[in-house]
Amino acid sequence: MKGIQVVVLLTFIVQFSYSQSAESFYKKGDSLNKLKEYDNAGLAYAAGIRMEGNDADLNRYWMAANAMAKANVPDSSFYWLYKMATSNKISPSDVTGIENDFSNLNTDKRWAKLIQNAKEKAKKNYSIDELIYGRKDGIALTMLHLKPRAKSNGKVVLWVMAGSWYSSYQQAERSVRPSSMYLDNGFTVFLVILGSQPRYAIPDEIEDVKRAVRYIRYNATTLKIDPNKIGIHGGSAGGNLSLSVALADDKIETEASDPINRMSSRVQAAAVLYPPTDCLNWGFAGANMVNAGDLLKGSGVYGAFDFRVWNSKTRTYDHITDTSTRNKIGREISPIYAISSDDPPVFIIHGDADKTVPIQQSKTFVEKLNEAGVINKFIIKKGGDHNPMDMMPEMYQFVDWFDKNLK
């Protein structure tokens, strides 16, 4: 079957020889998938993988396997699943995804062996510990600690787990494999899970990220990292929180009872994707999203802007409804207003076709960085939407950025 597949694949490549990149094949596969032409979609994905070789993302293998499974060609589906199962990048989350999404293959006699091999390989690929970096309201705040897969350089990438200001353990699990670009270059990675919306608003989440930085710095010796080489990374809401922490004034609580809170929350570099930077001017000047309640609810992010204040008399948190107070908080959670000349280097990638966070958010932010003389790098990804896959391969430049600026 493998020989037949290769012949068909080569024929497919010749047929579409006008396509000059693997991305063209992937897009062709997506189009065919939507048309339910699953067999041809699988061949298109396979052609893209062949062109990229070892650089092909594991998600591409998944798409090829999935398309062939839908086309009722189990041999081809298993071919790509075995490629995943033996990959040095497959993670525990990937194995769970295979088990959930390919249940139509689980009666095949090859299934049990495939899953067993995949689980064993995933466990070998990553050294993962879950750490408690803080507690609040009776619950623990945790992060996944990923040890380098190459010789440690002592440098840290703190990856903020947040999309639409929502954070979860599942997000961290799914981020293990993408972290390999750092792990393979000697970085230690911390996937930080936050107390998130709708229970906690953005100011609370910012404090959680600061607490994570302090925890890492306080435990630097145990974690075998350099406390003065901490970078921060996130996408979308995670980018907003990353920049909010990176640009914040470093106010150290020298009298804090908890020794961790006496540490600095300062980071030495930031690299983010399509970050919200100015909640008071969303897309254009004067477009205030902080008080646009219906818009926030329709976007599923109202909880992130549901600011509250402690009422000591009633011992409850009261919702802040006053417009001027909400605008003040909106300014505080917009990193563009925190820019100063002593800020760490910032790298941003943002697509010009982003329909979720206007590219204006990054353009005006970078203009302010330049005015303040802050070292920065800005890539506008042509045709890029609000998706990390659209930011490839440019996103790999984050590795060199942190390596250069964490010094």
Strands 269-273 and 156-161: unpaired
List the chain pLDDT tens, one digit each, 407 residues.
444 454 445 444 445 444 458 888 998 999 999 999 999 999 999 999 999 888 888 999 999 999 999 999 999 999 999 999 999 999 999 999 999 999 889 899 999 999 999 999 999 999 999 999 999 999 999 999 999 999 999 999 999 999 999 999 999 999 999 999 999 999 999 999 999 999 999 999 999 999 999 999 999 999 999 999 999 999 999 999 999 999 998 888 888 899 999 999 999 999 999 999 999 999 999 999 999 988 899 999 999 999 999 999 999 999 999 999 999 999 999 999 999 999 999 999 999 999 999 999 999 999 999 999 999 999 999 999 999 989 988 999 999 999 999 98
Domains of the chain and CATH, by start: 2-125 (1.25.40), 128-405 (3.40.50.1820)
315, amino acid identity:
R
232 has which bridge partners?
158, 270
CA distances from 211 to 100, 253, 260 (A): 35, 12, 8
Q: What is the pLDDT of residue 272?
A: 98
Q: Which of 223, 122, 216, 199 is nearest to 160 (CA)?
A: 216
d(CA 305, CA 196): 11
* pLDDT number for residue 135: 96
Assign residue 286 a region: left if phi > 0, alpha if psi is -120 to 50, beta otherwise? Answer: left
pTM over 0.85: yes
Residues 231 and 192 sit within 8 Å (Cβ to Cβ)? no
Q: Distance between CA atoms of 148 and 151, rounded to whole angstroms? A: 7
pLDDT at 311: 94
According to DSSP, the β-strands at 188-193 and 139-146 are: antiparallel
State both tokens at 28.
């062709």
Kind and range of the H or E run holding 234: strand 230-235
